[in-house]
Every structure is written in structure tokens, then in C-alpha cells.
Amino acid sequence: MQITDDVVLSVRELSKQFGEGCSYCLDENGELQKNMCPKCHTVYATKDVTFDLYKGEILGVVGESGSGKSTLMKMLYFDEDKTTGQYVLPKDPKNEHNVFEVSSQRKRQIRNEQLGMVYQNPMLGLKMDFSSVTNIAEKLIASGNRNVKEMTDRADHFLEKVNIPLRRKYEAPKNFSGGMQQRVQIAKALSNYPPILLLDEVTTGLDLSVQADVLELIKEIQRDMGVSMIVVSHDLAIIRMLCDRTMVMLDGKVIEHGITDQILEDPQHEYTQQLVYSIL
């Protein structure tokens, strides 16, 4: 695999299927109903997804529900196993050929040191009964930090960065609003200074004013810290605001990929055209 120096994450032919498949759907001429085999009901959640993420950029992934966006993110964060495909993190000191093939222990290390994840549902990213400080300390401990003062200082730094009042740092996230919970998730994800941040529908269900605050925070983090990001959303307005490049997914496949302005102003695929025209 040829990878240029400015690539921080590279994926090739990444597929995930739920089910064993059959002679019909495994035949390249077999036609699926959307992304499901009409014979054996195997679901092809993603199929041959290939892309690179570059240093300091925000890559958007857009598509309807069931298009494979969230499954893709789960595989990148090792929440879901792949069926086939290659996943390389060139800037990782060990620079394995395919991090899908490394041990579970090594995957945990990569999650803690190379990646940050912000889930649509904060309950997946936070322990709701623990304080915000403890949530952040948990991630720091997982990567080998045992210095209490250093962990507390790091937690204070990032909670301030995401506009969580420090007087509330010992409160449990269950007492916070949805927007505050998302900001605590972002602080936790950033606490180890990961080079890559994964954000999966982080503004869904938030009030418009809160959405705006979270989106502005994401742009500020990218600008100040140079973190590369993958942002999944069904909302083209969010993709337009945040993303340098955009991938459009449909039925598990990438059907269009390019500069965000180009995708939104001159969509080539019929589905992308429908998406764009639906918001005009």
C-alpha cells in the first residue's frame, strides 16, 4: 500500500457483513435489496470502503440511516470486528501493516493513545455515575498515567477548554444537559492528545443553540490542536460547516468522495443530488 507522508489513517477495501452469505450474494452478479441479500438475509453493512485521512483535516461521512456510517466508525475504534479489509495508522510508532490483525491488548493501546471517540449517545463514552474528572482520569490511567496531580491538571485543562465550569468537575455527567455531556466526552477523548478524533453524530438530539456551541468547539479544537477528525452526520449543513472533504455512503458503499464544496455544489451521483436538493 502506497501512503504519502501526510496521511494519518488509511483504510482499504473495508467490509463488514452480518451473516454468512450464500452462493447468490457472494456471486458478484447477485443483486442485493439495498444492502441485504434477498435469499439468506445477510446484511452487508459496509462494502469495500477505501479512503485516507490527512494530517489536520476534517473528513465528513454523510448518508441516510443504514448507509454504514456508524458501522464504519465502530470498526475504526475496534468496537466492531471487520469482515475483510486493511487499516493502517502510519504515524503510530509501531506502524503495523494492518492494525485489524494485532492483539486485543495492542488494540486497546491504540484506542487509548492514537484515537479519541465521541459517540452520539454519551452513555457509550462516559460512566454516568462517575465525576467528569474521574471519567478523564480513567482514559489517562488506561494509557499508563498514574500521577494524580498530573491527571487532575490535565482534566482541568480540557474541561476548561470545552467550557465545563471547574466548580462542577466533581459532578457526575448524569446531572448535566445533553450538550454538556457531549463536551465532557470531547474533553475525555482529547485528554491523551490523540492525533485522530472520531465523532459519530455528536449533535443529534441537541437544541440548535447547543449544536452551534458544540460545532464551534470542534472547529476551535481542530484549529488550535491540529487534530485530524472523521465526522459522521446525516446533516449536510454540519458537513458544510466542518469538513474539508466528504464521503457520501449509500447501502454500505462510498458512492461519491471529494472536496466538500465540490460535492455540495456539483453533486455527481443521483443520491447525492437528492440529498443536496432536499435542503435547498
Q: Where are the domains of the chain?
A: 121-193
Q: Report the predicted TM-score, pTM, of the whole model to 2 decimal places.
A: 0.93
In the sheet with 245-250, reading across from the earlier edge strand, the strands are 115-118, 196-200, 228-233, 58-62, 245-250, 253-259
- What is the rounded CA–CA span in Å between residue 108 and residue 5? 25
Residue 275: its pLDDT value, please? Answer: 87
Model pLDDT, residue 143: 76
Residue-level pLDDT at 278 = 77
Q: Which residues of the chain have pLDDT under 50?
A: none
What's the pLDDT score for residue 93? 75
232-273 per-position pLDDT tens digit = 998 888 999 999 999 999 999 999 999 999 999 999 999 999
User: What long-range pairs does 19-27 form, CB within 8 A, spacing at least 24?
Assistant: 19/43
Q: What pLDDT is stored for residue 172 in this prediction?
A: 96
pLDDT at 1: 56
Report the pLDDT value the prediction gives residue 279, as an integer from 0 to 100: 66
Asked if residues 258 and 245 have their Cβ atoms less than 8 Å apart, the reply is yes
Asked if 99 and 81 count as a contact pair (C-beta separation under 8 A), the reply is no
